[in-house]
Amino acid sequence: MPINVTMPALSPTMEEGTLAKWLVKEGDKVSPGDVIAEIETDKATMEVEAVDEGTVAKIMVPAGTEGVKVNATIAVLTADGESADAGAIAADPKADAAVTVSQDEVKSEPATATLTTAQAPAQESAEAPARGPAQASAPKGDRVFASPLARRIARELGVELAGVTGSGPQGRIVKSDVEAAAKGGGAKAESAAPAAATPQAAAAAPAASAPAKGASDDAVRKLFAQGSFEEIPHDGMRKTIARRLVESKQTVPHFYLSVDCQIDALLALRKQLNEAAPMVRTDAGDKPAYKLSVNDMIIKAMACALKAVPDANVSWTESAMLKHRNADVGVAVSIEGGLITPIVRRADEKTLSVISNEMKDLARRARSRKLKPEEYQGGTTAVSNLGMFGIRDFSAVINPPHATILAVGAGEERAVVRKGEITIANVMTVTLSTDHRAVDGALGAELLSAFRQYIENPMGMLV
**pLDDT tens-digit series, residues 318-377:** 999 999 999 999 999 999 888 999 999 999 999 999 999 999 999 999 998 889 888 999
| 305-319 core/surface letters (b: 16 or more CB in 10 A; e: else) | bbbbbeebbbbbeee
Instruction: Answer yes or no: are the C-beta atoms of 324 and 312 closer than 8 Å.
Output: no
How many CA atoms lie less than 13 Å away from 223 in the CB half-sphere? Answer: 5
Kindly list the distances between the CA atom of residue 332 and the CA atoms of 133, 174, 249, 357, 377, in Å, as whole numbers in the listed order.
48, 42, 18, 16, 12
Report the alpha-carbon distance of residue 76 to residue 327 in Å, rounded. 44
Question: Is residue 402 among the annotated active site residues?
Answer: no
Q: Which of 234, 254, 402, 436 is catalytic?
A: 436
Q: In this model, does residue 11 exceed pLDDT 90?
A: no
In 296-447, beta strands by DSSP E: 314-316, 321-323, 329-331, 333-335, 338-340, 343-344, 381-385, 404-418, 421-435
Q: Residue 63: what residue type?
A: A
Count Cα atoms within 13 angstroms, Cβ side, for 431: 19
Output the pLDDT for position 66. Answer: 86
Pairing mode of beta strands 73-78, 3-6: antiparallel
In the chain, ranges of CATH 3.30.559.10 domains: 239-461
Q: Are strands 35-40 and 16-22 parallel, antiparallel or unpaired?
A: antiparallel
- Tell me the fold of 3-194: OB fold (Dihydrolipoamide Acetyltransferase, E2P) (2.40.50)
Q: What is the mean pLDDT of residues 445-459?
A: 98
For residue 286, pLDDT over 80 is answered with yes
Instruction: Report pLDDT digits (tens) over 62-83.
Output: 998 888 888 889 998 887 766 6
pLDDT class of 168 with cuts at 50, 70, 90: low
Average pLDDT over residues 444-455: 98
Per DSSP bridges, beta strands 112-114 and 45-49 are parallel
Please compute the mean of the pLDDT values over residues 94-105 and round it to a whole number: 36
Residue 92 — pLDDT band, cuts 50, 70, 90?
A: very low
Q: Which tens digits make up the pLDDT trace of 46-58?
A: 888 888 888 899 9
User: Rg (Cα) of the chain, in Å, rounded?
Assistant: 26
Query: Residue range 429-454: average pLDDT?
Result: 98
- When mean pLDDT is compared across 28-42, 180-194, 211-225, 415-429, the lowest value belongs to 180-194
Mean pLDDT in residue range 451-461: 97
The answer, yes or no, to whether residue 458 has pLDDT greater than 70, is yes
CA atoms within 13 A on the CB side of 182: 17
pLDDT at 38 over 70: yes
- The answer to whether the CB of 92 falls within 8 A of the CB of 118 is no
Model confidence at 91: pLDDT above 50 = no
pLDDT at 184: 74
What rounded mean pLDDT belongs to the chain? 81
Strand ranges (E), 44-162: 45-49, 54-59, 65-69, 73-78, 112-114, 116-119
Which CATH architecture is the domain 239-461 placed in? 2-Layer Sandwich (3.30)
Q: Where in the chain is the domain with CATH 2.40.50.100?
A: 3-194
Instruction: Give the pLDDT score at 261.
Output: 98
User: What is the spatial distance between Cα 377 and Cα 305, in angstroms, rounded to a whole number?
Assistant: 21
Q: Does the pLDDT value for residue 443 go beyond 80?
A: yes
Is 211 a residue whose pLDDT tops 70? no
**Confidence (pTM):** 0.63
Cβ(131)–Cβ(152) under 8 Å? no
Highest mean pLDDT among 107-116, 298-307, 370-379: 298-307
pLDDT at position 101: 36
pLDDT of residue 177: 82
Q: What is the pLDDT of residues 368-419, one digit of tens each?
A: 888 988 899 999 999 999 999 999 999 999 999 999 999 999 999 999 999 9
Query: What's the pLDDT score for residue 50?
Result: 83
Distance of alpha carbon 156 from alpha carbon 205, whole angstroms: 33
What is the structure's pLDDT at 12? 67
Q: Considering Cα of 146, then 150, then 154, then 155, what sign does the dihedral take? A: positive
* Range of 28-37, 90-99, 100-109 with top mean pLDDT: 28-37
Mean pLDDT is lowest, of 125-129, 320-324, 425-429, for: 125-129
Question: d(Cα 432, Cα 268) in Å, to the nearest integer?
Answer: 25
Residue 438 phi, psi dihedral angles, 5° rounding: -105, -35
- Whether the predicted pLDDT of 116 surpasses 60: no
Confidence of residue 195 (pLDDT cuts 50, 70, 90): very low
